[in-house]
Structure 1
Amino acid sequence: MAGRPKIFNEQEAVAKATEVFRDKGYDTASAEELLGAMGIGKGSFYLAFKGGKQELYVRSITQFSERFYQKLSQSLAASEDKIQLIKDFFISLAYASDCDKERGCYLGNALVQLSEKDQEIKKVTAQLLKELQSLFAKTIRRAQEKGEMNSTEDPEIIGWHLSNLWNGIHVTRRMESSPEILKSIIEMNLKILD
């Protein structure tokens, strides 16, 4: 017997669980809190997520990562001034609330806190950094070809610089909460885009 069919939307359930993980962290999010937020029972949970909480967390990071990348990619595609959009995106990190969905701190936190504990989480977060690097590099290359920036640095290296900045700012925010200091750090790093 295959069990009862699922009667819930997995993507919506994962999105609700993401909010719990985002607010509580992986280690302190309890099964009861996750099930309550998802609106499902234990039987349905283990039918859908055979790996339990760890599988749910990996799915949460993966789904969040895909949506974050898609939104940033679409914003860049629609922007008239892609380099300014990248600058604005980074500057906004200095002023983002504790864990602003739009800036990807959930992913940054996962990378910092758990990627060394779990190979699957490390794989997902590393993939995100590679996708960000690639998106930034492609954008930089096009801007250089169109004469929209003065830098002649290798677009691939600039892309890595920016993905490293994105990752590093999430670490620095844990120690320094002053938006002015964070903005100064970010602006210094963004000079490579002039």
Structure 2
Amino acid sequence: MENRNDKFRRKHFYVIDRLLIKLATAAVVLLLVVQVLLVHGEARKYLSLVDKLEGEQITSPATMYAADVPLPNADRTMNTVNKVVAKSMRTLRPGKKITIRMINPPAGVDAIVTVNGETVGNFGKGEVELTVYEGDYIEIDAVRIKKTAQFIIDTHKNDLVYPVDGILLENQSNLVVVGKVIFKR
């Protein structure tokens, strides 16, 4: 009886071992095929979830060197280089034009527009036209204006979710927050 059970066990273990070896070989071959397909860009976008979620690829310009940046003093070396690289990276992204008009009080240089903390213009001509990028943060500094100031945002019917085209902003304090720029997808 034991001999018969041993034969039965050996036969099943032999079948299971062969099946496992075939499955392991098929898995390795499938892995190699998928890896080869991931090398090619066209197949990669269908096989890789990371590439779909990653967004646009940004390449930095090859000619950007720290030696190209004029350095006024040693303390501002890193800050100057970072600003130049950040500005060159922004030019690789798609931007949209918006206009901010100052309606009340009439045109004056007392208010300035800042994008991401950097001054980009003043209301000397009554309006400021800027190019904005996804994720930029826009503010209007109206500290020197004594009266209530009003501003209208004109997005030129671009594909922007925010700021909304034609929105009227009024300063309740010294700083008018336009907000973060959001593009339609």
What TM-score do you get using the length of structure 2 for normalisation? 0.21
Which is helix-richer, 1 or 2? 1
Of structures 1 and 2, the one scoring higher in RCO (CA 8 A, sep 6+) is 1
TM-score, length-scaled by structure 1: 0.21
Higher strand residue share = 2
